[in-house]
Structure 1
């Protein structure tokens, strides 16, 4: 069964963890996806989740943390009983790197995924629009990452709204890398020129993306977890409540 989760990055403006999780629980979510700062809270945050009957489906973790603090990352992931980790992005200076840099990233992810497998964990990559820039003929940066990863079980968390912002058809891309697809981010884009104070994002169902088509396509192509997210909400609790309600009424 597909799990509906929420990325806690959406709620980052709520400083108090207990208050944040109470808001998530009150909306109706049962699952959350962590980001680096929350993953590093380890057992302290895991206890708060457990007290509210919430479970973590996975976590974003910086490549630098996986490289330099591998043991701590594994220990924290074990505290939450999660097995799915995703590198959310490359640092800003690397986003325009040439083809070879993206190939090296793919190789590094492959090595780390093999290393994590010894702990029963998987590693994946989460895309943005810059991952769709052409780097070698008709191959994008994301293509090169997955190509260089070879047979290693590097997974993909497809951010469908960022795919759209990258100028590609998300359905084509969900099929293109379906063998690696494990999860998808569920968020929406406001009509052109609207919601500029929220960087052009919208609550799920209030934007231009057709989630009645995109949700089943993501699931059919391998996504086991669908994660609600908004990159810059003015009212995060209202945003996740609106998104949850739309998905419950239309897609669950």
Structure 2
């Protein structure tokens, strides 16, 4: 199956459209059959369930905040099951909540492993989504992302190729090293320096600086089943969604 046939779009990219159903209508028109919801939408789980059915779309993976994952794991798992989600992903932690040393990241990983056992009991996968800070070395030379994966050996990784690049790391090296733990891939592109400043320096997938030919080959060699396009701050969501899907369809 080609990647485009199982491609999701992270709904955070479409948040500038104020009505959730309008987001679904646009993405359906552009040919998307899958979406990746994010934390705020779970306050409206009934509406999300209705729209997934109405537009005959699936949400195979979803971003769910650390507070829900650790604070109400069982209820989170049940909501995910109801929505047809297969992979629960922790997407982000605020700067003030981040561990400051290796021991802190190890302790967080141990907590995630416990939560992962609950998701596994319900037949769900569990993964962590990176930003740049997990790929910045700690004082002992180790990386938070490595420490999380080692401390939570049953947890997978949703690797964000754009943020790995923003951290001045080689995404192919990380794809190769952790290929057995990578369960999902965020396809995100980075604009050339000085360009797209009104969009946070991000680019539409295939229209930035990343070498997608090599990245796609490396990504296909991982254990990833889920592929998600994302742009953190598009000034035209229809343009981004259309061009991203066209790019992926060309692979």
TM range (shorter): over 0.9
Whether contact under 8 Å (2:135, 2:143) holds in the other structure is yes
TM-score by length of 1: 0.94
The alignment partner of 2:59 has SS state of strand
Partner of 1:125: 128
Partner of 2:78: 75
Alignment deviations for residues 45-84 of structure 1 (CA, whole Å, 9 cap, x no partner)? 1111111111111110111112223343223212211121
Whether contact under 8 Å (1:40, 1:76) holds in the other structure is no
Whether contact under 8 Å (2:206, 2:212) holds in the other structure is yes
Structure 1 residue 48 corresponds to structure 2 residue 51: yes
Structure 1 residue 105 corresponds to structure 2 residue 140: no
Structure 1 residue 37 corresponds to structure 2 residue 49: no
Structure 2, unaligned runs of 5 or more:
none
Partner of 1:175: 176
- The equivalences for 1:1-252 within 5 A come to 1=1, 2=3, 3-95=6-98, 97-135=100-138, 137-150=140-153, 153-248=154-249, 250-251=250-251
The alignment partner of 2:162 has SS state of helix
Displacement, 1:154? 0.2
Displacement, 1:96? 6.1
Displacement, 1:220? 1.0
CA RMSD of aligned residues (A): 1.4
Whether contact under 8 Å (1:198, 1:232) holds in the other structure is yes
Structure 1, unaligned runs of 5 or more:
none
The alignment partner of 1:209 has SS state of coil
Alignment deviations for residues 123-178 of structure 1 (CA, whole Å, 9 cap, x no partner)? 1100111101112533211111111113xx20100001100111111011011111
Go from structure 1 to structure 2 and tell me whether the alpha carbon gap of 1:70 and 1:149 turns closer, same or farther (over 3 Å shift).
closer
Displacement, 1:179? 1.8
